[in-house]
Amino acid sequence: MYLYHFGLKELPFTLTPNTNFYFGLESHNEALAVLLMALQTGEGFIKVVGEVGTGKTLLCRKLLNEIPEHFVTAYIPNPYLKPDELRRAVAVELGVKQAQRMSTQLLTQRIQERLLALHGKGHSVVLILDEAQALPEESLEALRLFTNLETETRKLLQVVLFAQPEIDQRLAQKQFRQLRQRITFSYQLRSLTVIEVQHYIQHRLQVAGYKGAALFSPALASKLARASKGIPRLVNVLCHKMMMLAYGQGHFEITNSHLKTAIRDTEDTKSSWSGILALPSVFSLVAVVALLTVMVYIGFDFFNGVQT
């Protein structure tokens, strides 16, 4: 791709949540501080809500890396599970043997025994669910019942929910009022400011090994922030496409033309800046992909010819 063209060690704007690229944005740092403080209290549910692409999964992985050693974590990345499936998934995460073969009653007993054993060894247990808005209604109730397990002084299990805003609409329903009252701490992730987008882009390029002149001017980064609505995932998508376009043209500077084409090629950014899309594009992303494919095959044939 464009690694060698820009002198990079790795791709800077991938969509995979990679804690090596964690920037420490104000919103993320505040959320992490709230999580760590809330976990120390040992009470109830903790909720972190953010729109799609605002970095919930990255923050979740950062928490797993930063959580103090005395915590034992059970991590459920895909909670679209029925109550029995959820119990068994939690049991497996906690190291309960033969969890898939037990009856529901015995499984619940074994989970409680495991939690008591961990508590006796000085451990705190936290269940972390990513994409928690996907939990079925009956599983939300099962989750609440999990937190009924307690000693005289503290809960045996804490729950952290990372979710999209839809979860607040669901929890507002009357049947979830008991669970809602158990949410002791919550945090709302926000989108990035223009300045944060500029620093975010620069940070990811530096982590990826870039050492050249500035690729994204402050003016261009400002336009990119507007087009992406400050959502980190969309910033990544646009930056990746812009760098791919520049590489396809043999350029070492990112321009407005590259931004126009990247916006046009990205569904969730078209409405953010309709004016810029009316301007002609100097190069289509489809053409770039085709060009890069041809270049790869030419290079492959060339090296095969050299070897023979």
For residue range 101-156, list pLDDT tens digits in order: 889 889 989 999 999 999 999 999 999 999 999 999 999 988 888 888 877 778 89
Place of tokens 């109550």: 83
> Is 211 in a helix, a strand, or coil?
coil
Q: How is the chain split into domains, by residue range?
A: 26-188, 192-299
What is the value of pTM for the model shown?
0.84
The domain made up of 192-299 is a member of CATH 3.30.160: no
Write the CATH number of the domain with boundaries 26-188. Answer: 3.40.50.300
Residues contacting residue 263 through CB under 8 Å, at least 6 positions apart: 227, 238, 269, 270, 272, 273, 276, 277
Calpha distance 308→300 (Å, rounded): 12
Calpha distance 40→124 (Å, rounded): 9
Calpha distance 89→103 (Å, rounded): 14
- Please report, rounded to a whole number, the percentage of residues in the chain having pLDDT higher than 70: 87
Q: Does position 211 have pLDDT exceeding 60, yes or no?
A: yes
Calpha distance 35→60 (Å, rounded): 10
Ramachandran angles phi, psi of 157, nearest 5°: -145, 130
Average pLDDT rounded to a whole number, residues 201-207:
97
Nearest to 141 by CA among 106, 173, 105, 166: 173
Residues contacting residue 129 through CB under 8 Å, at least 6 positions apart: 76, 79, 135, 143, 159, 160, 161, 162
| Mean of pLDDT over the chain | 87
Average pLDDT rounded to a whole number, residues 73-84:
92
Tens digits of per-residue pLDDT, 9-63? 999 999 999 999 999 899 999 999 999 999 988 878 999 999 999 999 999 999 9
pLDDT score for 271: 61
pLDDT score for 170: 92
pLDDT score for 283: 45
Calpha distance 221→202 (Å, rounded): 10
pLDDT score for 294: 44
Calpha distance 8→58 (Å, rounded): 22
